[in-house]
Structure 1
Amino acid sequence: MSAFFRALWRRSSPGLFITSALTFLLILLIFIYPLLTDVDPLAQDIDNAFAAVGTPGHLLGTDNLGRDTLVRLAYGLRTELLVCATGTVLAALIGTLAGILAAYFRGFADMLLMRMVDIVLAFPTLVFAMLIVSLYGAGNLTIIVICAIVFFPSFARLTYGEVLSLRRALYVESAELFGGTRWQIISGPLLRGVGPLVLAQGFLTLAFAVGLESGLSFLGLGITPPTPSLGLMIASGQQYFLQSPWQLLIPSIVLVVLLVIFGYVADWIRDLLDPRGVGKVKRGRRGGAAPRVTAAEMIEGVSA
């Protein structure tokens, strides 16, 4: 355990600490702040509409209906992250399974599964999402299904290429020679081999899912009102930009920060957990060059 934390410290950077601090504040805002306040995010107070930032009782002001911006931001972020994270997990499960099966069995499984992936990729993401919403209506469940369908091809292609490479690895061939079943090989060395890449891709896909949901909500096709979300708050703030610019700027800034955090975490996880170092940019030791991995260390990692 101590060796793990030492390796984590060596591979950290100032950007990582900033990202960690922002993530901690985000968690406090989403899960802790609603427990500390009794303000209803849907409660309207027309007399206090467009309250300025810093108003007593309304730290980030109020919107056009007098609803507290900070409370709506907390509830909106929680709803949006839960919906997008659920869709991302489903996309990861479907895509990883499809990619592993197609690359390991090849033949008919490869043709069937990867052609399905190509068909989904042929549709523009936003157009496909709008089509699904027009058929089944807006709502949380619809957004989850859209994220699962739209983003599973990225996981499938990622795991497909990785498994094709892992099938020629010595430890996979050794497992086959020693009588390991197909399920044991798939759930063992192959799944562990693609795990770090899938985890990193998961955070990156979560950022894409949040961006997609915010875009759909901005168009009125995502999370349905009166449930708050970043896209709905941005759309409302745009209409009343002259009366209260912060009602547009605050959710927009939070959305950008959220996307940057997920992208940075995805890159850091890939560099930290990928034993082969496929990342183009490697974080070095503090005040020095990136550590070199010797052949002995690689053999020891494979044996572990």
Structure 2
Amino acid sequence: MMSIAPAVPAPRMITRIRLKMPILVIIAVGWISLMVLTAIFADQLRPYEITRMDLMARLAPMGTPGHWLGTDELGRDVLTRLIQSIRVSLMIAFGATILSAVFGTTLGFLAAQFRGWVEHLVMALADFQAALPFMIMSLAVLAFFGSSMILLVCLMGFYGWERYARIARGLAISASAQGYAAAVVQLGASPRRVYLKHILPNVASTLIVSMTLTFPEIILMESGLSFLGLGVQPPQTSLGNMVGFGREYLTRAPWIMLAPSIVIVLTTLSISLLGDWLRDRLDPTIR
């Protein structure tokens, strides 16, 4: 007679699921999801146009009907500009993170494949990048060439690529020494197929964790450049741009820089918490 296992009570099952993800990580995922949805549906969520000015409502405090987060020195709605700033900052950070990961991983795979002088050249470039004061270099480049969205994304995309290069090189060399990579090579697979179809999926989890750790750093870097006036330029706005313009009204209208500052802190903290949790879950050496 077939025995039927007792059903797990629903409360116990829910508790077990919750134990797999700490409450702080759940909150972090919720906040990140909220920011992503805000960036995607920014056009529908904005109550006004970002350039709309109401000089009769200059420096209106938080809670003012029609301007729930107040207005700035030109009477522009802070909530409207905050929503647009979230979209712009996340677009820059996401694009730069993808560019940095692709560039660094490609160089790391090239170093692992060809070894010799190619490997030494890539590692020398990585050492040079790690020793370079990136903020000072960014200020010099933006001051000389001027600021534009494309240049800003490309410039941020070269931040942290050496991490991906080192990780990809080490993991690729380790994977190449294992049986599955050697087997597909013996079957006649090209190096491109070996790295893209076999090695990359096996090292993707580590690279994804590295991306979650680099993403908040790029947000802070872009915010710092915009704060100094060399990032996103008006009439466009970003989180750092809002903080930079709001610092002059810190004593009279603190809400202008308070809202974007809170978003920067919570977003970077949430992504860092998620990255640490993913590292603990995906890294077999820690488990």
* Distance 1:194-1:65 versus aligned 2 partners, 3 A rule: same
Give the match for residue 24 of structure 2.
Answer: 15
Q: 1:245 to 1:268 in 2, by over 3 A?
A: same
For these two proteins, the number of residue pairs brought into alignment is 273
AA aligned to 1:187 is: L
1:109 alignment partner in structure 2: 118
Match in the other structure for 1:155: 164
Q: Deviations over 1:108-166 (max 9, x none)?
A: 22122222222222211101111211221112112111112222112111212222222
CA distance in 1, matches of 2:25, 2:261: 22
CA contact (8 A) 2:250 2:257 kept: yes
Which moved further from structure 2: 22-31 or 237-246? 22-31
Instruction: Give yes or no for contact 1:104–1:167 (8 Å, CA) kept in 2.
Output: no
Tell me how far 1:29 sits from its aligned partner.
2.9
Decide whether the 8 Å contact of 1:49 with 1:65 is kept in 2: yes
Amino acid at match of 2:108: G
| 1:31 shift after superposition | 2.9
Q: Greater shift after overlay, 152-161 or 28-37? A: 28-37
**What is the root-mean-square deviation in Å for CA atoms of aligned residues?**
2.1
Q: Measured at CA, do residues 258 and 177 of structure 1 come closer, stay the same or move farther in structure 2, by a change above 3 Å?
A: same
Bigger relative contact order, structure 1 or 2 (CA pairs below 8 A, ≥6 apart): 2
- Residues 278-304 of structure 1, C-alpha deviations (whole Å, 9 max, x = no match): 4x4x6xxxxxxxxxxxxxxxxxxxxxx
- 1:36 to partner: Cα distance: 4.0
Partner residue in 1 for 2:56: 47
Deviates more, 1:202-211 or 1:10-19: 10-19
1:230 to 228, 239, 252: 239
Q: For residue 92 of structure 1, report the CA deviation from its aligned partner.
A: 0.8
Unaligned runs of 5+ in 1: 1-6, 283-304
Q: Who is 1:277 aligned against?
A: 284
Match of 2:89 in 1: 80
User: Identity rate of aligned residues, in percent?
Assistant: 30
TM-score of the superposition, structure 1-length normalised? 0.83
State which drifts further: 7-16 or 140-149. 7-16
- Contact 2:51-2:76 within 8 A present in 1 as well: yes
Counterpart pick for 2:250 among 217, 235, 241 = 241
| Post-superposition offset of 1:197 | 1.3
Aligned residues of 1:73 and 1:230 also touching (Cα < 8 A): yes
Alignment of 1:212 with 2:217, yes or no, is no
Q: Once the two structures are superposed, what CA deviation does each residue of 1:141-197 show, in whole Å capped at 9, x if it has no partner?
A: 121111122221121112122222222223223333444332222112211122111
Give the C-alpha shift of residue 200 in structure 1: 1.5
Please tell me whether the aligned partners of residues 110 and 118 of structure 2 are also in contact (alpha carbons under 8 angstroms): yes
Which of the residues 120, 123, 132 maps onto 1:123?
132
Identify which of 94, 101, 105 aligns with 2:103. Answer: 94
Deviation (angstroms), 1:107: 0.9
For the 8 Å contact 1:84–1:143, the answer to whether it is kept is: no
Distance 2:205 2:72 in 1: 42
| In structure 2, C-alpha distance between the alignment counterparts of 1:47 and 1:19, rounded to whole Å | 39
Q: What secondary structure, in the 3-state scheme, does the structure 1 residue paired with 2:69 have?
A: coil
Question: Equivalent residue for 1:193?
Answer: 202
Structure 2 residues without counterparts, runs of 5 or longer: 1-15
In 1, the alpha carbon distance for the partners of 2:154 and 2:92 equals 10
The amino acid across from 2:284 in the alignment is G
Residues in 1 aligned to 2:195 and 2:243: alpha-carbon distance in whole angstroms: 44
What is the Cα deviation at residue 105 of structure 1?
Answer: 2.1
Stretch moving more, 77-86 or 166-175 = 166-175
Q: Deviations over 1:62-100 (max 9, x none)?
A: 111111111101101101111221121111111001001
Partners in 2 of 1:95 and 1:33 — Cα distance?
31
Matched, 1:184 2:193: yes
| Aligned residue identity for 1:76 | S
Alpha-carbon separation, structure 2, partners of 1:30 and 1:120: 31
What is the rounded CA distance, in whole Å, between the counterparts of 2:166 and 2:140 in structure 1? Answer: 24
